[in-house]
Chains A and B, each alone.
Chain A
Amino acid sequence: MAGILKIARQFIEAIPHANALGLELTKIGNGEAEITMSYNEALIGDPRTGVIHGGAISTMLDTCCGAAVMSHPFAPSSTATIDLRIDYMRAATPGQTITTRATCYHITRNVAFVRATASDEDQENPVATASGAFTVEGK
């Protein structure tokens, strides 16, 4: 498991935009993934409140969903987003770390179905949820 996590970390570190946002892969395996992002003033969407822009959270959710697909026991060689729907429940509290968790709950030879949530330190009330379909590339 530690080996998989190390490989997965290297995988995410190879993504320039994931690096630019400071994303950290904290859990991976069996079709599930968890990614965290520390509060960063460069990502503020509303300068009056300091709330992180929804676009940065979209990127976390997309990356997390892709990682969940890659970690599925079906072991696709690669994946790409077909579509992703994001619902924004509330603003993330400024200063707090954001955590996204994704589950690949069904996979076929061609398509992977994924859902994910994003939350800040109040884990009971998600900031956003996502659901999407991803391509499954051959082995």
Chain B
Amino acid sequence: MARSRPEPMQVVKQRRDAALNAIVEGVPYIRFLNISFDRRGDELTGVLNFDEKLIGNPLLPALHGGVTAAFLEVTAVITLSWEYFFPRIESGELDASDIFGDETVRFPKTVDFTVDYLRSGLPRDAYARAFVSRLGRRYASVRVETWQDNHARPFAQATGHFLMPQPKPEKE
């Protein structure tokens, strides 16, 4: 007997994008900073859409260092969650549009986060990409960088450690 026909790629892609939208729309702080995500295949790029309220130094002007840190952290957490939930979203086991309605979905918690500021963030859109260096059962280590006009000239980079969601102990 023939194997069941794989689902059309478009359906799988729709699930991925619906899950990303649900996360971005569901977290007030991500909306506050107006961060969106651009997915191409398995690559995820965070986009910080520029707004005057993100300015930290009005004289230069430059993005607030805290905004840069938050943008890097959001990108790191979403990329990490993404790799962690990916198979369950793709298979349709998780309802992609209702991530926060599902009790079994929990996000990694930041343990520590270290940001290096390389140059000032210009008053325009910024992009970020995170790389999961290690994903263990309890801890994950993530590296993330952000750039504006030229990917080869990042304006900040960071590394962070995260505590992965732990299975709830069995109730007696």
A contacts, CB < 8 Å to B? 14-20, 41-48, 52-56, 58-63, 66, 80-88
Contacts and interface: CB of A to CB of B under 8 A. Distances in A.
Given A47-B27, A47-B28, A54 B65 contact: no
Can you list the 8 inter-chain pairs with the closest CB atoms, starting with the nearest?
A59-B66, A55-B70, A53-B29, A17-B64, A20-B53, A85-B114, A62-B66, A16-B55
Contacts of B115: 81, 83-85
Contacts of A42: 28-29, 31-32
Contact of A86 (B29, B54, B58, B113): B113
A44 to B, nearest CB: 4
A87 B110 CA distance: 8
Interface residues of B, number: 36
A56 B33 CA distance: 10
Given A17-B54, A88-B110, A59 B64 contact: yes
B116 interface: yes
5 contacts: A17-B53, A55-B70, A58-B66, A58-B73, A62-B65
B120 A16 contact: no
Interface string B88-123: 000000000000100000010111111111001000
Nearest to B63: A17
Interface in B54-99: 54-58, 64-67, 69-71, 73-74
Contacts of B65: 59, 62, 66, 80-81, 84
Interface string B19-45: 000000011111111000000000000
B120 to A, nearest CB: 7
Contacts of B54: 16-17, 20
Contacts of B55: 15-17
Contacts of B117: 80-84
Interface of B: 26-33, 52-58, 64-67, 69-71, 73-74, 100, 107, 109-117, 120
A12 B83 CA distance: 39
A43 B33 CA distance: 9
A56 B30 CA distance: 11
Contacts of B70: 53-56, 58-59
A7 to B, nearest CB: 16
A55 B69 contact: yes
A103 B116 CA distance: 20
A91 to B, nearest CB: 8
B19 to A, nearest CB: 15
Nearest to A23: B66
Nearest to B101: A48
A48 B87 CA distance: 23
B32 to A, nearest CB: 5
